[in-house]
Structure 1
């Protein structure tokens, strides 16, 4: 995940911690190095002291990258990965369902680590997860890392979280694909329309566009109508395929998708 303000960061940390505790997992939180432990606990516990028992029993642990790589003084991916594998084994040995870790990447600057080494770790961490009960969020503060690095890390990770509920993200993929993730509601209709217009312009030479709606939690009538209108006017395209679940497919049909010859709705199972 990436965040641009502290409120978003704490919303994600709190949700991630509470979900892990509810699933009987052990939870490690590695906050930004400059954030005092008292503030971390106050944020996670708000509005109630819900994690006191978990901390007392060792289910919730506050740590740091310095602690993870100890006794090494400088960061190496091998040391970090080995320690996290050991902590996962320890969590299951203690009877927990698994281990999850929230790692704020502010440690990179604090330890003077080589960004290239860190980036290599992020793209070669599969053994941490394959066949193992381990979950991890790497959180990047956009005020610390440049835009290119954030974009590279979003591509490197198997999943990039929305910043918060109610957001809409569009991703232009290969082979003329536009994928929407999040909420295509009235508040995001202008962005939804603009992304479609750009995608149609980009795919004009190929005369084909695939619009993937399977990552949406919500599709408003207004956004669906805009999609059909743009498809109807896209005379330079031979085919516009819309991938969606049965609910969105039914909505598009009721709004007149069948009257747009170049549009084809393909029903797929949602990925969750």
Structure 2
């Protein structure tokens, strides 16, 4: 996935998806494909949303259920009460047999309204695009749907992830569909991506945990060296789902040692801001942690 996704704020961890988000995720491994969908389902359950999962038609339902049930069986109860539904594109557009963008959008719009009427906080759908070959849909129809679905999301409690198997679709097609979505989701849970945003802002997306400490600290070192002449640096942490104490301490240590800088601004969410303050951010010269309003998007 291009680094420009992170730099533009398009790339986010699956945990950062919100109602109104229409996101792309790619995969090229049969094991990796389950990471995003499992997290997507569990977060939806925790947020009181109704969830539709449309797996690749070639994957047996028993395998889908086994994957999303692991390591505990809380999704079983959600299926029993109707909060979690494993379905197919064929079932979604039934009784019609032919896929059209308008037909699918109408069904999902009605499903969203039904979900809220049933008392759920909204609807989220994870759609594996393996259905395209199964229904014989042509590329132009799919493209029109992906680029013309804004009314399904704008101001509505609906969240959708479209998953593309890179082994099934051509490279150019996957790239085009990637950019057709307003958001792109990190393929692997626990991953960390770094990119330069507008104005040279250093953007982090994913998880800055113990395993990724070196991958977090090293870009900070390089960015401080790069901006020594300008004497200012802005770091954006709002794309992180997790920030470990070790990584936060690493940030404070590096900023404390950056004597040539007049200001290092750190954009952070409420939890990150609280952590930095508890670790002594106020005692670090030139460090300015800025809490974003309303959980602003990164970069």
TM over 0.5: yes
1:17 to 41, 47, 50: 41
**Which residue does 2:102 correspond to in 1?**
78
Q: Deviations over 1:50-106 (max 9, x none)?
A: 445544554332222233334555543222211100111233344444322111122
1:265 counterpart = 2:293: no
CA contact (8 A) 2:50 2:123 kept: yes
- TM-score w.r.t. length of structure 2: 0.68
Structure 2: runs of 5 or more not aligned: 1-24
The 3-state SS of whatever aligns with 2:155 is coil
Q: How many residues align?
A: 263
Q: Aligned pair in 2 of structure 1 residues 15, 215: CA closer, same or farther (>3 Å)?
A: closer
Counterpart Cα distance in 1 of 2:67 and 2:57: 15
1:89 counterpart = 2:113: yes
1:151 is displaced (CA, Å) by: 8.5
The 3-state SS of whatever aligns with 1:137 is strand
1:129 counterpart = 2:153: yes
Q: Aligned pair in 2 of structure 1 residues 203, 33: CA closer, same or farther (>3 Å)?
A: farther
Q: Which moved more, 1:208-217 or 1:16-25?
A: 16-25
1:247 to 270, 275, 282: 275
CA contact (8 A) 2:112 2:123 kept: yes
The 3-state SS of whatever aligns with 1:7 is coil
- TM-score w.r.t. length of structure 1: 0.73
Q: Aligned pair in 2 of structure 1 residues 162, 10: CA closer, same or farther (>3 Å)?
A: closer
2:124 to 100, 115, 138: 100
Q: Which moved more, 1:84-93 or 1:48-57?
A: 48-57
Counterpart Cα distance in 2 of 1:210 and 1:142: 35
**Which residue does 2:239 correspond to in 1?**
215
Q: Which runs of 4+ in 1 moved over 6 A?
A: 200-207
Q: Which moved more, 1:176-185 or 1:12-21?
A: 12-21
Q: Deviations over 1:174-223 (max 9, x none)?
A: 22222112333442233224544665688799775421123332142563
CA contact (8 A) 2:109 2:152 kept: yes
**Which residue does 2:90 correspond to in 1?**
66
Counterpart Cα distance in 2 of 1:137 and 1:13: 9
CA contact (8 A) 2:164 2:174 kept: no
1:247 is displaced (CA, Å) by: 2.5
Q: RMSD of the alignment, in Å?
A: 3.9
Counterpart Cα distance in 2 of 1:71 and 1:148: 30
The 3-state SS of whatever aligns with 1:5 is coil
1:30 counterpart = 2:54: yes
Counterpart Cα distance in 2 of 1:120 and 1:138: 14
1:31 is displaced (CA, Å) by: 0.2
**Which residue does 1:160 correspond to in 2?**
185
Counterpart Cα distance in 2 of 1:24 and 1:80: 24
Structure 1: runs of 5 or more not aligned: none
1:47 is displaced (CA, Å) by: 5.0
CA contact (8 A) 1:26 1:59 kept: yes
The 3-state SS of whatever aligns with 1:247 is helix
**Which residue does 1:189 correspond to in 2?**
213
